[in-house]
Amino acid sequence: MRRRTFIAGLLVAATAGRAQAQRSAKVYRIARIYPAQPVAEAIKASKTQGSIAWFFFEELRRLGFVEGQNLVYERYSAEGQTDQYSELARDVVRSNPDLIFASGTFTVLALKAATTTIPIVAGSISDPVAVGIAASIARPGGNITGVISTGPEFMGKYVELLREAVPGLSTVGYLTSRKVWELPEGVAVQEAARRLQISLIGPPLDYPLDAAEYRRVIAAMAQAGAQALIVQGQPINYENQQLIIELAEKGRLPAIYPFLDSCKLGGLMAYADDGHETLRQQANQIAQILRGASPGDIPFYQPTSGHQSEDRESARHRVIGIARRPRRRGDRIVLSVPLLALFGHGAMSDLSPLSAAKRTSRSKGGRSGFDPCETFGRLDLLRKSAYDLIARIGSRDRQ
């Protein structure tokens, strides 16, 4: 009797071991859709150590999913051709991957129309409930979850930050496509401008969104009297940010961007999510789904609380970048702290995170700026000032 029990136990253990080995040996297929970034560029970015794309794959590796081992990562791109979104979505769905990872509201809406069964992790979505992607933030239902990158409350801050940076601001150009003007983030920017008695002007970008269209629109804004520029966070703007920065500079339009990279490329100012935290959350959602969780049960992740008031804890995944003189690339100093990234000279009146530090800056060769050692020695002051800036903007919203 004992011998039969022992043999039965061995058989159970062997069966369980084989099942575990089969699970660990499974190769998962993820289809990644880029609305604008070419596939070749996406592959190059993922192989560049230290890049944000590389960081995403490191997160997947940490969670047990390694490209080339138990993960196949198939990349697709619409290359900015929005009229191709629906066809591309159908092509990807026909390939029947285990999961689709996509960015952009209109890309995800095209996927939603193409499949109700393949799990989808979405990024760069402003309000998934308002546009019909999810039933609720906490319980999306259906087959889609993801990250809310720029909610309506978030977008409204762009107008406020520009007003602080540009004295006497009364007219602002809003660089976005015609469709986005009607989305929640577009409405939020318009409402914030009305509240602050600032005129928000176009014209909107029309398709095809090529270099000629960007030149036409930004030149028209400058001619119409725009004193500054808000760049909307749609993926096609990210792909064209170098061109936008050059055109804004040519048109003498101080601009605020939703991409922190823009400051490194010479843009004036950026207000953005912590991209690393966003990708960490998306990698975690992908891992949960590949392990069997339903996307409809995984809440959409929001980088901040949904409240206008933001204390230090709720603001810790937002980043401000400031570059007062983008042409002086040799002067640029990059500081990495939880909230703040500053590039060169800062200027936001008494609210500036640099305002307290610049009294101690030194002049070298006739150019005022920050001494790197001195600035790095005052990180605690810079960090506190940045948190205070966010909190003071939030407190004005409640008044």
pLDDT digits (tens, 9 = 90+) for 2-18: 444 444 444 444 454 44
pTM over 0.75: no
Q: Say if residue 145 is in the same domain as residue 285.
A: yes
One domain, residues 290 and 326: no
> Does the bond joining 140 to the residue before it have cis omega, within 30 degrees of 0?
no
Q: Characterize the bridge pairing of strands 367-368 and 120-125.
A: unpaired
Q: Is the pLDDT of residue 303 over 70?
A: yes
Pairing of strands 269-273, 318-322: antiparallel
Mean pLDDT of 309-317: 32
Within this chain, do residues 218 and 290 fall inside the same structural domain, yes or no?
no
Count of helices and strands (H, E) across the chain? 14, 14
Query: Of the given ranges (38-42, 128-132, 148-152, 310-314), which has the lowest mean pLDDT?
Result: 310-314
Residues 188 and 284 in one domain: no
Reported as a single tens digit per residue, the pLDDT across 87-110 is 999 999 999 999 999 998 999 999
Whether 18 is in a domain gets the answer no
- Please report the pLDDT score of residue 321 as a whole number: 52
CA distance 318 to 274: 6
Residues 35 and 91 in one domain: yes
pLDDT tens figures, 258-275: 887 888 888 888 887 778
In a domain, 246, yes or no: yes
When divided into structural domains, the chain yields a total of: 2
Q: Are 171 and 234 part of one and the same domain?
A: yes
The CATH number covering residue 103 comes to: 3.40.50.2300
Q: Band the pLDDT of 316: cuts 50, 70, 90.
A: very low
> Would you say 208 and 183 are in contact if contact means Cβ atoms under 8 Å apart?
no
**How much of the chain, in percent, has pLDDT values that exceed 90?**
46
Q: Please report which confidence band the pLDDT of residue 357 belongs to, taking 50, 70 and 90 as the band edges.
A: very low
| Alpha-helix runs per DSSP H in 66-142 | 85-94, 105-114
Please report whether residue 1 resides in a domain: no
- Residue 326: give the domain boundaries: 152-274+308-398
Residue in the structure block whose two tokens are 């500053």: 342
* 226 and 134 inside one domain: no
pLDDT tens digits, 40-95:
999 999 999 988 899 999 999 999 999 999 999 999 999 888 889 999 999 999 99
Percent of the chain having pLDDT more than 70?
A: 69
